[in-house]
Amino acid sequence: MTDRVMEVLRRLRAGREAFAPGPALPVVDQVVATVLSQATSDVNSGRAFARLKARFPAWEQVADAPPEEVADAIRCGGIAERKARRIQEILTAIEDREGAITLDRLDGLDDEAAEAYLTSLPGVGPKTAACVLMFSMGREAFPVDTHVHRVTTRLGWIPAGVSAERAHRLLRPMVPPEVRHELHLALIRHGRAVCRARQPRCGECVLREVCAYGLSALSRRSEPPGRGAP
C-alpha cells in the first residue's frame, strides 16, 4: 500500500514547487479556524478568521460576546450563526476545564490522548482534531475532509460508504508519516479541481491509471454503443 500511496503523491507533485508547510497557528486558533473552514472556501474562511480576530483580540472576548456579534464578525464564512454558537461552546468548555482559554496542556500529551481531549470538546470531530494535531502541533495525523474522503474512496484505498471517523482510522496507517501533511493538501487540491463530487474530470486526471473509479469510468466510455444491451 505504501507504494501505491507514494505513486499517487508522485503524480500529484508533477509540475508543482517543492512542498513547504505553512506557518503554524496556536492550537486554539487552529481549532477555531477549522470550524470556520467548514462548508466554505479557504478564502472566505480566512477572511472570517481575520475579521473575528480583528474585532475580538482575545478569545475570552469571543466567548463572552453576544452570539449575534460573533456571527456578524464571521458572516463572510457562511452559516455564521451555527459557527458562532459552536465556537463559543468550544471556548467556554476550554475555559471551564483549564481556567483560561488555552490548550497548552496538549503539548504534554501523546497523540492519542491529545486527540481524545480535542474530540471531547463540543462539536469537535476527528477531522478538526487531526487538523490541530498536524497543522499546529506537528504531529503525525492525517485529516480526512470531504475531498480526501472522496478521492481515496475512488482510488480504492477505502471502501465506499465508510463513515468519516472510520476513514480516519483506515487511512492514517496507510500513509507514511513523513508525507501526511503534503498528501493531505495535495488530495484536497485534486478533489477541488479534478476529482469533483459531480462530473469528475477523469479524462484529464493524472491519477486515472492508478484509480479504480477512473479506470472503470474510462472503460465504460470506450465500450461500443449498445454493448451489454439485452
DSSP run (H or E) holding 4: helix 2-13
Cell numbers at 224, concatenated: 461500443
Q: Of the listed 127, 147, 180, 208, which one is catalytic? A: 127
Q: How far apart are CA 163 and CA 127, in angstroms?
A: 12
Residue 127 catalytic? yes
Cell numbers at 225, concatenated: 454503443
Q: How many CB atoms lie within 10 A of CB 45?
A: 22
DSSP 208: G
**Angle 22-28-30 (CA atoms, 0-180°, nearest 5)?**
30
Q: How far apart are CA 226 and CA 71, in angstroms?
A: 55
DSSP run (H or E) holding 223: none
Helix (H, G, I), strand (E, B) or coil at 28: helix
167 with 144: CB under 8 angstroms?
yes
Residue type, position 142, single letter? F
User: Cβ contacts of residue 141 below 8 Å, gap of 6+?
Assistant: 111, 115, 129, 130, 131, 133, 134, 172, 180
For residue 227, what are the CA distances in angstroms to 14, 129, 216, 220, 223?
37, 48, 15, 10, 7
Active site residues: 127
